[in-house]
A = this chain, B = another copy of it.
């Protein structure tokens, strides 16, 4: 199953992350794991939300709820102005939706699942915090949504021959991003590049993502976290009320659009998922993953 993580990878990742903290010569003041799926910590006015649903931070109902809870938790601390969104896995920021949620689903859970996914977008894209995406690994599909909902994105150039990819690759698998996510891409990279990106389900290398403004900086993988904290501290210096009001100038309309069409979007998603052919494809795909793991 997708949830089985590598303990070794987990420990190495944690070690790297702790070194990153030391890089700032600051002890992390408090660590309050809001759940086992995400880990939050606060250091002065900058918080960290580390996704650790290994191996690939796939978004299940519980993972979506944990991310939203984590954001609310750090937002509740009035000192916090910046947030670094990171992944414990160095190879994957988030691989997107947990497909197990979609296969042969309970309809009530499916509804709750999609609402929790919408909520992650609303919470991240509309957060009062300056959210810096520390994208060390792959960010396809809904993983790309997490990245695009940040205020600023720093992506790893990769390590060795492994170059991480980012993009909305849904169409390659015969599915389509929900409108709120597709439009987020169109706004981010512009109508032209966005049409091509969505139609072809294009995954971008870090340098291509930088060229089309899908990410804002590309640095060595060892520097992603460090640079993200630098940015978070820089953004946290701006008077918070004004920074947030500026963000809302740019985003309020789109947050309201999802609020206004939320139920409609749930129904469209359920209609798509329950399509017979889609169920068949999902079953075959999940079966093939199980075989690989053996």
Residues of chain A whose beta carbon lies under 8 Å from any beta carbon of chain B: 130, 151-152, 170-177, 179, 182-183, 186-196, 198-201, 213, 216, 234-235, 238-239, 241-243, 245-247, 249-251
Contacts and interface: CB of A to CB of B under 8 A. Distances in A.
Contacts of A239: 171-174
Given A151-B199, A176-B245, A199-B243, A194 B250 contact: yes
Contact of A179 (B176, B187, B243, B249): B249
Contact of A187 (B171, B191, B200): B191
B242 A200 contact: no
A238 B201 contact: yes
- Tell me the interface secondary structure of chain A in the complex: helix
Shortest Cβ-Cβ A-B pairs, 4 listed: A174-B239, A198-B246, A182-B249, A171-B242
A200 B250 contact: no
Given A191-B187, A193-B213, A175 B242 contact: yes
A155 to B, nearest CB: 14
Q: What copy number does this chain have within its complex?
A: 3
Contact of A130 (B183, B199, B249): B199
9 contacts: A170-B242, A171-B242, A172-B238, A182-B249, A182-B250, A194-B250, A199-B243, A200-B234, A201-B238
Nearest to A240: B174
Contacts of A234: 200
A166 B220 CA distance: 32
Given A151-B196, A173-B242, 10 more contacts: A171-B245, A179-B249, A190-B190, A190-B213, A193-B213, A199-B246, A199-B247, A200-B238, A201-B242, A201-B246
A195 B241 contact: no
A247 B177 CA distance: 11
Contact of A235 (B152, B170, B200, B213): B200
Contacts of A183: 249
A252 to B, nearest CB: 9
Given A174-B239, A174-B242, A247 B195 contact: yes
A170 B177 CA distance: 36
Contacts of A216: 192, 196
Contacts of A191: 187-188, 250
Contact of A192 (B172, B175, B213, B249): B213
Contacts of A173: 239, 242
A213 B193 CA distance: 8
